[in-house]
Structure 1
Amino acid sequence: MNSSGTRVPSPRLYLAGWTTTTLGTGIVFPLTAVYLRDQLGLPVGSVSLYFVLFAIAGLVANPFAGLLSVRFGPGPIAVAATAFQTIGPLLLAAHGPDALSLTASVFSGAGTGIFYAVLTPLLIQLFGEAKLGRMLAAQNAVSAASVGAGAVIGGLLVEALGEAGYRLSFLANGISFLAFGLVLAAVLRGVAAPSAEVSRSISPASVLAPFVDRRFLVILVLQGALVLFGFGQVESVMPIVLRDSAQLQVIGISVVLAVNSLSIIVLQAPVLRLVERIGHVRSLRAALGCWALSLVALWLSAAVSGPVVAVVAAAGWALLFALGECFIAPSMQPLVVATAPPGRLASYTASTSLVHSLGNLAAPALFLPVFTGLGFGAYLGFQLAGYLMAVLVLLISAGARASASVR
């Protein structure tokens, strides 16, 4: 308890809950599409519809989550999100009719959209703005470890138990969300809620405010660029690029993605210390520099001869890309918080979550055709142009903040 009687929440308890839910996510991460197609017997069109509904539900729920967070605080909204996330995989585990599976996608997608819309305000409410970067960095490292471990567990369950292994995996996924919700409720007990006076001053029109705020629009463009040219391609575009350009087999691609995850686990803590020394803007520039250098390693993976050398070169890409991710994790959202107007944090952070989701949708839709239609060289050129554009956006953002501080 602090001097005002408000209980100080435990970061370790929160991160234990985060570990549980990301482990559950990892368990079903490689299984969902195969389960829908092979075990539930959904046609390919219905499998695609599952993921489309998941994305749409998250996009629709996102702005409402930001508005509700302003009115009721991010804590209750985050707990409610875990309830939606719990229901989705439990419906899949029930192995019901096609409509039940598609309903599951709506619950899971809405829960995910709601949770990530309020995550930054939640962390600030729990641990304070000064610790936001550290908590985001810790979540990034934990996610890299637990999602990878969960994927192995899910694969082993299916290998050993067949259909029952699939259903057990989705059951474990649902229980992990429930456990995280209970942990959140425990962590939130005694934590001061946001000011009701501020909550009443916010109208539904505030949902659109970030998109017409010229100063903040630069941040949204930067967020979109980081996802479109980076995060949104790791699991959707990059495996195809590695297979077709570097001629890697499935095991080689798995090794490369494992190097990416392991690098985040190892590098996040030392990179966080560097971020705290050089600041968020310089850290984002460093991240984009790492990503630009990673394109050299990616090019080498296709230029060298021999599968082992190609895997080593592609692993260099994974390492440099992970280094960039470690710079971004504790930097982007604190920059969002610093740029958002007072009293508008919830709707502004929700807008960045919305842009992140849109970027994840757009990345494979844009860059798979670029790679398959225009070739590897054109793909690398587009990537480099995207990173240079993001650097330019950072410079514009820094200039706008400096100008605002002078006024």
Structure 2
Amino acid sequence: MTAGTPRMRPVDRLIVTHGLSSFCLGLVFPYTAIHLADRPGVGTGGVALFYGAAGIANLTVALLLTAGVLRLPRVTLGVLGTALWFCGYLGLPFVGSHPATLVAGVAIGCGQGGFLAAIVPLVNSLVTAEERRKVFARRYAVLNATLAAGSLVAGALTLILPRSVIPYFFVANAVGILPLTIAILTAGRHARAAEEKAEESAEGTALPMAALARTVMPAALVQLAVFLFGFSQFEATAPLVSERLMDMGLFMVSLMLVVNVVVIVSLQGRITRLLEDRPEIAGLRIAVGLWTVGYAVAGAMAFLPYGFRLTGLLVYAVLFALGECAYSCSFHPWLISLVPDRELTRANALANSMMGVGNFAGPSIGVALAVSGQAPVVWFGLALCCTTITVGTGLLARRGGAAPAAAAVPGSG
């Protein structure tokens, strides 16, 4: 590298290595349940045990961090999280009993809980307030594209290679986490010195749990809402309804994913620029509003012949992706603006706990609506839920905007 060649910034290295890890996670994303169900001594009961253990462990770590029971510097927390994640996924190809499955699930869940709580404060410490929205939007686009690419590569490999290749995906996923660990350590050395010092010396000045909850709860409830009625529905309900209730082939699941990723990657920057002069909460309202319209379009088209149903699902995929673009450049900058930097790890942990609850409980809402056997009931039911949440988000915005901690953050949005 010549002296005149600009070096990649620490935040960019962090995003790139997180993207690599996301690609490797995409390799196992479609096959974790299949692999565990096939393992002798694990079976379908072990699949439920794994996901339950991972979810509970993730939520437990998030709540311990929020309550201040577990207090670690963000770099230490991020490294510990990736280390546990590495151990859990490295052990998955070899589990052969329910206890081993439980251990792997707990390690992965605890690792995710620690890493997810640390990564947002760490990214924020590497950028200025002015570039915060663009950086978080770019990170979101990279993670979506790499996760989808990994899933597509895994799907292609299982078409040309025997089923026995699947365990190697888990090894590749574990190895793919290691560059991210190194990037976290490197980023920690470049983080803003004043903020790192404030975080490490904050023991005597930490907000009480009740005060933190009052300040962050508006954002946490918005996070719960968007995962209950947004992300979990796209990932779980939409494939189920399109294939079983709308007579679409399995290809529709892949097609909707591809459309979703293409829209995010191609339009994320433009959406971010359109929203940069608006308050972050406006972007969240727009996101949920786009999802509501998408559900309504899919529901209206569900009454019509095959070609219209196909069109309705594609329109839904596009509108959902546009909503994701608005969400990605709005939510974390809004959360960051609500609290002093020293409390950001705890605040992010609280938001992540709501994300976990939404991901766990959200699919049951879609499944309950699908029991009707009518696709329009599902789509219009979700549209009604999102309409209610849009109104609720407006009320929460007024509470969140008045939070006294927001004034303590220089340059907050």
Could you tell me the TM-score, scaled by structure 2's length?
0.87
Matched, 1:358 2:361: no
**1:210-229 C-alpha deviation (Å, 9 max, x unpaired):** 43x1x543322222111111
Change (3 A) 1:373 1:299: closer
Which residues of structure 1 form unaligned runs of 5+?
A: 1-6
The residue aligned with 1:298 is: 298
Out of 204, 210, 219, the position equivalent to 1:201 is: 204
SS at match of 1:85: helix
CA contact (8 A) 1:292 1:384 kept: yes
Q: Secondary structure at the match of 2:395?
A: helix
CA contact (8 A) 1:260 1:321 kept: yes
Match of residue 3 from structure 1: none
Contact between 2:298 and 2:309, CA under 8 Å: does it hold in 1? no
1:157 CA displacement: 3.5
Q: Distance in 2 between matches of 1:282 and 1:124?
A: 21
Deviation of 1:300 after TM superposition, in Å, equals 3.8
Aligned-pair distance for 1:388? Answer: 2.4
Equivalence map 1:80-229=2 (5 Å): 80-191=80-191, 192=193, 193-195=196-198, 198-202=201-205, 206-207=208-209, 209-211=211-213, 213=214, 215-229=215-229
- Cα distance in 2 between the residues matched to 1:218 and 1:10: 31
Instruction: Give the match for residue 346 of structure 2.
Output: 347
| Alignment partners' CA distance in 2, 1:167 and 1:356 | 28
| Native 8 Å contact 2:10 2:190 kept in 1 | no
* 1:357 positional shift: 0.5
The CA deviation at 1:286 is 1.6
CA contact (8 A) 2:144 2:261 kept: yes
User: Which is further off, 134-143 or 341-350?
Assistant: 341-350
Q: Which amino acid in 2 is paired with 1:81?
A: G
**Matched-pair identity in %:** 24
Task: Output the amino acid matched with 2:58.
Answer: G
State the aligned residue count: 396
Distance 1:35 1:202, change over 3 A: farther
CA distance in 2, matches of 1:106, 1:393: 34
Q: Is structure 2 residue 284 aligned with structure 1 residue 284?
A: yes
Relative to structure 1, the CA distance from residue 256 to residue 196 in structure 2 (aligned partners, 3 Å threshold; closer, same or farther) is: closer
Contact 2:73 2:199 in 1 (8 A): no
After superposition, the Cα gap between the structure-2 partners of 1:207 and 1:398, relative to the gap in structure 1 and judged at 3 Å, is closer
Write out per-residue CA displacement over residues 254-280 of structure 1, whole angstroms, 9 at most, x where no aligned residue: 212221122111111111111212231
Give 1:364 deviation, angstroms: 1.2
TM-score (norm 1): 0.89
Deviations 1:149-191 (A, max 9, x none): 1112222333444354112110000001122111221222243
Q: What corresponds to 2:411 in structure 1?
A: none
Structure 2: which amino acid aligns with 1:347? R
**Structure 1 residues 295, 183: CA separation in 2 closer, same or farther (over 3 Å shift)?**
same
Shift in Å, 1:196: 5.5
Superposition CA RMSD, Å: 2.7
Look up the equivalent residue of 2:36 and give its one-letter code.
L
Partner Cα distance (1:342, 1:29) in 2: 33
Check whether the contact 1:17–1:179 (CA below 8 A) recurs between aligned residues: yes
Q: Which runs of 5+ in 2 are unaligned?
A: 1-6, 408-413
The Cα shift of 1:41 comes to 5.6
Find the counterpart in structure 1 of residue 3 from structure 2.
Answer: none
Partner of 1:399: 398
The one-letter code of the counterpart of 2:365 is L
- Equivalent in the alignment of 2:324: 325
- Secondary structure at 2:202 match in 1: helix
TM-superposition CA deviations, 1:317-346 (whole Å, max 9, x none): 000011001000110111112223674322
Q: Which residue of 2 aligns with 1:383?
A: 382
SS across alignment from 2:302: helix
Secondary structure at the counterpart of residue 328 of structure 1: helix
After superposition, the Cα gap between the structure-2 partners of 1:360 and 1:209, relative to the gap in structure 1 and judged at 3 Å, is: farther
Q: For residues 210 and 337 of structure 2, what CA distance do their matches in structure 1 show?
A: 19
1:118 touches 1:346 (CA, 8 Å); kept in 2? yes
1:66-100 CA distance string (max 9 Å, x none):
56799442122111110011011100123544432
Q: Are positions 1:256 and 2:256 aligned together? A: yes
CA contact (8 A) 2:303 2:376 kept: no
